[in-house]
């Protein structure tokens, strides 16, 4: 059996193998008729990834409060209508034998922006459906609107909102929650000295800058069933001078393990426009390996992992315990099934009965049925 296609158990949840869907924003909710509510697009999108054989389907960032959305078209999990809509998606994902996870998020100063394919970019004005943004400090991200610095009540509200969203995720049937502390969104903004200039207990040294994330993790862990895992997505580096780096991230990962995190999902970048990222195949894997070896908890690797043999090597080398795929699954939702063939381990990935005729073990495709 290949390493990539071996089961992995975290707490009381066993994933059939280690090919997982990375969270990918879809920007496809109706911001007027049903703000934050996943619809048919989400059912078909996530359903196709489950049909394709992924062991874990992680959703896009689901905002824990309305003002935490990246764009007005983002999904959320701050009310019961959204909870019911997600339950529909989860039920189908489960029907295909996959686990379902939700990424809980707050975009902070990168909120209230136009979705990527809009004819204009930047912040959405309030009169056009946008809203004022918040952050650890009143520092804008590039040309986006200047956010308001969160006060003590605002910080406490963020913690409560994440915990409430976790409770809704449990009722919707999710198997995993992932806290989004990467890509320059609110929890990452607190971690990085480039975006956090606070002088209170939530700024300064690593203990202060990581305080909000650890409080959120504690609150979510208390609200979430003990037998279900909590993941944390981190940016291992800002890729900018004076910013958050992998050395501090290793220290953070140790703290996350102490506070009940079950896996660190290791990404990078996103916090400042001046970042310089050395993009290439598997470019984030070395930092994932540093977290795994330095923190002693399971790690997921992501970022231009394109080929089944490449993914297998990431795990064989000990750099990660699972791989999370994004764009490769958009172009080929059946990547996990293809990987099973490439790694000569076809029994490890489920095929829907309706599609079994396409496998090599079945009768020739020319045989009429």
Question: Cα dihedral angle (196, 200, 204, 208), rounded to 10 degrees?
Answer: -90
Cβ 252 vs Cβ 244: under 8 Å: no
Task: Specify the pairing of strand 8-10 against strand 13-15.
Answer: antiparallel
Instruction: Identify whether 185 is a catalytic site residue.
Output: yes
Cβ 120 vs Cβ 128: under 8 Å: no
DSSP annotation string for 343-357: TT-GGGS---GGGGG
Q: Which of 27, 46, 185, 202 is catalytic?
A: 185
Say how far apart CA 217 and CA 40 lie, in whole Å.
31
Residue 127, helix vs strand vs coil: helix
Task: Specify the pairing of strand 299-302 against strand 263-267.
Answer: parallel
Say how far apart CA 212 and CA 198 lie, in whole Å.
12
Say how far apart CA 54 and CA 265 lie, in whole Å.
17
Output phi, psi for 60, to 5 deg: -60, 170
Count the neighbouring beta carbons within 10 Å of the beta carbon of residue 369.
4
Q: How far apart, in Å, do the first and last CA atoms of the chain sit?
A: 33
Residue that is written with structure tokens 């172009």 in the block? 331
Residue 108, helix vs strand vs coil: helix
Q: Which residues are catalytic?
A: 185
């Amino acid at each position: 059996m290949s390493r990539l296609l071996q089961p992995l158990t975290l707490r009381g949840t066993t994933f059939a193998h280690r090919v997982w869907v990375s969270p990918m924003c879809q920007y496809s909710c109706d911001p007027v008729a049903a703000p934050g509510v996943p619809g048919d697009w989400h059912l078909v999108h996530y359903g196709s990834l489950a049909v394709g054989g992924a062991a874990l389907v992680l959703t896009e960032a689901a905002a824990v409060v309305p003002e935490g959305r990246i764009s007005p078209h983002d999904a959320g999990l701050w009310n019961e209508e959204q909870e019911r809509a997600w339950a529909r998606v989860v039920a189908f994902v489960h029907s295909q034998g996959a686990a379902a996870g939700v990424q809980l998020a707050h975009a902070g100063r990168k909120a209230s922006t136009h979705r990527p394919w809009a004819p204009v970019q930047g912040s959405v004005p309030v009169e056009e459906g946008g809203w004022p943004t918040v952050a650890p400090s009143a520092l804008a991200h590039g040309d986006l609107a200047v956010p308001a610095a969160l006060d003590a009540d605002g910080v406490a509200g963020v913690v409560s909102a994440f915990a409430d969203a976790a409770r809704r995720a449990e009722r919707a049937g999710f198997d995993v929650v992932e806290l989004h502390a990467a890509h320059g969104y609110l929890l990452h903004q607190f971690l990085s000295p480039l975006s956090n200039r606070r002088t209170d207990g939530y700024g300064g040294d690593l203990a202060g800058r990581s305080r909000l994330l650890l409080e959120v993790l504690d609150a979510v862990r208390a609200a979430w069933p003990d037998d279900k895992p909590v993941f944390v997505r981190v940016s291992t580096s800002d890729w900018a001078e004076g910013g958050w780096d992998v050395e501090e991230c290793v220290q953070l990962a140790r703290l996350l393990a102490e506070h009940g995190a079950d896996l660190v999902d290791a990404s990078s970048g996103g916090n400042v426009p001046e970042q310089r990222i050395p993009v290439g195949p598997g470019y984030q894997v070395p930092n994932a390996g540093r977290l795994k070896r330095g923190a002693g908890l399971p790690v997921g690797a992501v970022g231009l992992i394109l080929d089944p043999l490449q993914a297998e090597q990431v795990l064989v080398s000990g750099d990660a315990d699972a791989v999370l795929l994004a764009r490769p699954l958009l172009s080929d939702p059946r990547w996990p099934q293809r990987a099973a063939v490439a790694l000569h381990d076809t029994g490890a990935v489920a095929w829907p009965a309706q599609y079994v005729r396409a496998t090599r073990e079945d009768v020739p495709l020319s045989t009429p049925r």
